[in-house]
Structure 1
Amino acid sequence: MLLGGIDGCKGGWLVIFKNEGAFSYEVISSIETLNQHFLQPSRFFIDMPIGLSSEGFTRTLETTLRTELQSRRSTIFNPPTREATYEPDRDKAKQLNKRIEGKSLSEQTLNIKSKIRELDHFLLHQKNLALELIESHPEICFKYLNKGEVLQSKKSTSEGIEDRLRLLSSYDQDAFMLYQEILKNTQRKWVKRDDILDALVLCISNELSFLKKTYYFEDENIQDMKGLKIRLAYFK
């Protein structure tokens, strides 16, 4: 079983994975590329919503996640409804979301709406049963790798980067070397430092949870109107 973590980035998607015990990584332009690059049984934790609200159905998972992260609750955002996700015009998408859910869309959500749409479309048409994508969240993963304590430093700061690298290295001694390798071989305009940290913690949490036990925060409704499971995986 190949185990990895995926984070969206300006260059597309950063994929970090373990293959026969060794780290590897790729920056892929499209999530569809997973089907060509990973033919063996594979499981990935991905930092992107899976399962969306829609007319007559509300996703509730974010309420639980904000409670989990307390002072870092701002790292949790409300995904758009599926109707708004597939509306190409930003202003119309905001209006559509407000009509359905009673609230507009933040700039943060609008900026990744195309990736949410890309992933949703991929999952709804996915026929590769050997490939499993499970929603996760880097700060939730960091919390539970840190014995249940939320990391207060921001990963955009030097302190936050150091805190996270130190924690990741305590679980895998090769984490720091991989971080440095990706920094060296990618441009910051395409892959930011925090993208690397996020994909790395998802990969490590995925591997640990596969070897021991995978824990989930589950939505009250279990799945969305299209049948996609709404749950968020982590390891503790």
Structure 2
Amino acid sequence: MPEGTDLLPPLPNDWAQTAPIVGVDGARGGWLAAVLLPDGEADLLLFGRFADLVTELPDDAVIAVDMPIGLPDRSGPKGRAPERLVRPLLGPRRSSVFSIPSRNAVYSTDYREGCALARQTSDPSRAFARQAFHIFPKIREIDVVLQARPTLCERIIEVHPELAFATLNAGKPMLYAKRKRIGGMHPGLDERRILLERAGLPIRLVESIPRGAEQDDALDALACLAVAARFRMGLARPYPDPPEHDSHGLPIAIWA
């Protein structure tokens, strides 16, 4: 059995009382945050910059973000340890976990140059997909914020929505990709909505689509919110456990 396949504790019925908690997913308009505040107010908010999100949300909010935190100087086979550990848990959704290259490659703003740097700093030598390159600016945003304020790592954690959904589903990965269409239907979106509603999120929130984001962005942000609740309650676990750290002291782990 792959490491980490044991079931994690379910969310208690009163998990929403763990506010303030935030789940964050990257969106075309910036950063989509699912926010639950102490007064019970819940909303989906769009921020242009990650630094603005951190500044404008409560100082004690746990923020679970779907974006890599902690960058290696050299990348090993199949990426960082979190990626290697999480993929076996996701079955048909394993391809949603990208291998993150070295910090030098991530900080390159030219695709070809970045691929060359990735090859020079990986073992075995490899480049990266253009799809991964498109998220590098957001990875850099988080990296800059956390290097400037490393104590934020105590409450800002890396998560992955597909692992979050699998955790809400008693350890079973989602059957369908989020964007898969079958006969005019979107079964991947439907199965994720059902899980979030069963977890106790308001239907109006689960069905919201903020301007500057897509429905799947909103569902991912809400799944990240559930991990923030688990972290606040001490129920979440990191992959790997304990987390590794990069050369700047930032943790390298995906939480669920």
Provide the TM-score with structure 2 as the length reference: 0.82
1:74 is matched with which residue: 58, 83, 95? 95
2:218 maps to 1:191: no
Letter in 1 for 2:54: N
Contact 1:42 1:130 in 2 (8 A): no
What are the superposed Cα offsets for residues 70-103 of structure 1, whole Å, 9 maximum, x if unpaired?
A: 2221011111210011112111011100111111
Distance in 1 (CA, whole Å) between partners of 2:189 and 2:235 is: 27
How far, CA to CA, are the matches of 2:199 and 2:120 in structure 1? Answer: 46
Write the distance in 1 (CA, Å) between the matches of 2:174 and 2:56.
34
**1:128–1:24: structure 2 CA closer, same or farther, 3 Å change rule?**
farther
**Structure 2 residue aligned with 1:12:** 30
Q: Is the 8 A contact 2:64 2:157 kept in 1?
A: yes
1:34 aligns with 2:53: yes
Match of 1:179 among 203, 206, 214: 206
Distance 1:81 1:167, change over 3 A: same
Question: 1:2 — aligned with what?
Answer: 20
- The number of residues matched between the two structures is 228
Q: Identity across aligned pairs (percent)?
A: 28
Counterpart residue number, 2:13: none
Question: Per-residue deviation at 1:178?
Answer: 0.9
Worse-superposed segment, 15-24 or 122-131: 122-131
Letter in 2 for 1:134: I
Deviations 1:181-234 (A, max 9, x none): x32x41xxx311111010011102321442351211117871111111111111
Question: 1:135-146 residue pairs with structure 2 within 5 A?
Answer: 135-146=158-169
Q: Distance in 2 between matches of 1:30 and 1:173?
A: 26
Which residue of 1 is the match for residue 116 of structure 2? 95
Name 2:178's counterpart in structure 1: 155
Q: Superposition RMSD on alpha carbons, in Å?
A: 2.1
Aligned CA distance change for structure 1 residues 9 and 135 (closer, same or farther; 3 Å)? same
Equivalent-residue separation in structure 2 for 1:137 and 1:221 (angstroms): 15
Distance 1:217 1:56 in 2: 17
Q: What's the secondary structure of 1:7's corresponding residue? A: strand
Where does structure 2 lack aligned partners over 5 or more consecutive residues?
1-18, 181-185
SS at match of 1:46: strand
**Structure 1 stretch displaced more, 12-21 or 207-216:** 207-216
Q: Confirm or deny: 8 A CA contact 1:217 1:233 kept in the other structure.
A: yes
- Segments of 4+ in structure 1 off by > 3 A? 55-58, 127-131
Matched, 1:84 2:116: no
Contact kept? 1:41, 1:131, Cα under 8 Å? no
The 8 Å contact of residues 177 and 188 in structure 2, kept in 1 or not, is answered as: yes
CA distance in 2, matches of 1:223, 1:26: 30
